Amino acid sequence: MINNARYSRIIAGAMTWGQWGKGFNHEEVSDLIKYCLDIGITTFDHADIYGGYTTEADFGVGFKHSRVKRENVQFISKCGIQLDAEARPNKVKHYEYSRDYIMWSVERSLKNLQTDYLDFLLLHRPSPLLEPDEISEVISRLVKEGKIKNFGVSNFTPSQIAMLETSVTVAANQVEFSLTANDVMFDGTLDDCIANKRMAMSWSPLGSYFKEKNPQVKRIRKVINPLMEKYDASVDQLLLAWILKHPSKVYPVVGTATKSRLKDALRAMEIELELQDWFMLLEASQGQEVP
């Protein structure tokens, strides 16, 4: 079992720091890394594909420039998705999980992030062609060589994890989980994290609340607006507090690259939603009362 205490409960997602978002230069990356540490966020989430396979390298230059000690931060990265990008032309989007590829990808991430090890390596998406024994072989080698500390997955179902665990232990699952996208509470995914003491991480923890104006969001807005005054909290904080209340003890990966919103996210950990308020928000999300 991993030591979850090593990771900050709010994780900074780096997907929008580079070409897929803010386009930060190395000084801006350095400044944001140091700011995160100042407010208590020490864990940074990456994937090799971010920025069309460029963001890890941009982050690495900024990290080196920051002079932050490696032991004071935790790096998560993912591999496996193959996009058709300028840096890596492909004929079709697909997944690659051969032992040679995983080894090459990790080495590349280490070089780009300018570090000797990853705190977590995650397989980014499940592939129909996944070979558990092959995964086990390469993960064992990476751990033995000190290049990764822990191994997990992202977007895997409980049955896919069970298949993988015939050969290798899976310590975490990073999945989509928010008030507007909460299927993982009912399909066994978060139950699996609790039952097997896996670290549960949530990508897109604010969901579609700020992106859509559909009936679901309108229902949630009607319920959440009065709660802002009751808890003296912003919508962002209440949306995070809602998922933080789940017993899987989920770690939200907050994708903002804005300092004020990162700081606000930490306040969500102090909000204890009352039971009926939590269910009122769930009812608003689903459009009906619980069975």
* Catalytic residue list: 50
Mark residue 7 as left, alpha or beta (left: phi above 0; alpha: psi -120 to 50; beta: remaining): beta
Number of H helices, E strands in the chain: 11, 10
Rounded distance between C-alpha atoms, residue 90 and residue 144, angstroms: 32
Using alpha carbons, list the distances in angstroms from residue 204 to 11, 127, 207, 251: 11, 22, 5, 11
In which element (H, E) is residue 252 found?
strand 251-254
> CA 62, CA 33: separation in Å to the nearest integer?
8
Q: Give dist(CA 43, CA 151) in Å, integer.
A: 16
Maximum pairwise Cα distance, the chain: 54
Upper half-sphere CA count for residue 261 (Cβ side, 13 Å): 14
What value does the CA radius of gyration of the chain take, rounded to a whole number of Å?
Answer: 19
Token pair recorded at residue 106: 């990790």
Q: Which two tokens stand for residue 28?
A: 């801006």
